[in-house]
Structure 1
Amino acid sequence: MGSLIWLLQWPIRAVVLLIVAWLPLGVEVSSFPIALLSAVVIGLLGTLLIVPLKLVLGPIWAVTSLGGLISPVSLLFNWAITVILFGLAAWLIQGFRLRNGLVSAILGGVVYAVLSAVILRALGLDVDFTRAAGLQMAVPAA
């Protein structure tokens, strides 16, 4: 069921990326096929890099969020990971550009994450497992 949900999410995330590019955030996407490719790359990077990001950010997340008790910190870590993935995808894909560098990555990544979450939840295609939950699982229990 998870791969089916991902296949349904893919074009929606591409449309969200086009919406982000339409906003004055410094994100440029040249076409819908580039947006589709970018959505795939962001997803694949998230899959491939979640373990290394857990190892690096997990202890920091555990301390700053008191083991997940302070949920705004978890939200910030989710967004930080999204910004990293967003920036990496833009670096890898010709036709997906961040005009203002880190500022565009931060603004675009955050807006992309929020819009994706809202739209996917409204459509019933959200997945409960979040990157912050993945980070929490990487931290050994005391």
Structure 2
Amino acid sequence: MVEILITWFVTALSFLIISKLPIGVEIDSFSKALMSAAVVGILNALLLPILTFFSFPLIILTIGLFLFVLNSMIFGIAAYLVNGFRLRYGFWSALIGSIALAVINSALLRVLAAII
């Protein structure tokens, strides 16, 4: 249970870092980042497997690159659901934001794992 809370906090921190980059992702406050992290986590757990199942031929055809589109869809849905989380440039902000979230979140979790 503690690991889930740490991951949630680190993901919220990653959202705040992404909002400072000039890619069009805007988050108002840390509480909105916490909500965004929770919504993205829930959508990844519930919706992403369904989308992956139905788009499996496209994923195979594009050698896995369509997964970036699926992740940006999840990112965009989360921005739609959470007030205070906006995408200035639409799909492109969602695509770059989801890639940045994966990279920054992975880096922060690795650094935290090395410290602990």
TM bin, normalised by shorter chain, reads 0.7 to 0.9
Residue matched to 1:123? 112
Q: How many residues align?
A: 114
The correspondence of residues 1-142 of structure 1 with structure 2, limited to 5 A, is: 3-65=1-63, 73=64, 76-124=65-113
**Can you give the 5+ residue segments of structure 2 that lack an aligned partner in the other structure?**
none
What is the deviation of 1:49? 0.5
User: Sequence identity, in percent?
Assistant: 39
TM-score by length of structure 2 reads 0.87
The structure with the largest alpha-carbon Rg is: 1
- The answer (yes or no) to whether the contact 2:80–2:86 under 8 Å persists in 1 is yes
What is the SS of the residue equivalent to 1:94?
coil
Specify whether residues 81 and 5 from structure 1 end up closer, same or farther in structure 2 by C-alpha distance, changes over 3 A only: farther
Moved over 3 A (4+): 62-65
> Any idea what the Cα deviations from partners look like across 1:29-68, whole Å, max 9, x if unmatched?
0000000000000000111102311212223323443xxx
> Any idea what the Cα deviations from partners look like across 1:66-106, whole Å, max 9, x if unmatched?
xxxxxxx3xx3443332111110001111000011111111
- The answer (yes or no) to whether the contact 1:25–1:108 under 8 Å persists in 2 is yes
**Can you give the 5+ residue segments of structure 1 that lack an aligned partner in the other structure?**
66-72, 126-142
Residue matched to 1:136? none
Specify whether residues 51 and 20 from structure 1 end up closer, same or farther in structure 2 by C-alpha distance, changes over 3 A only: same
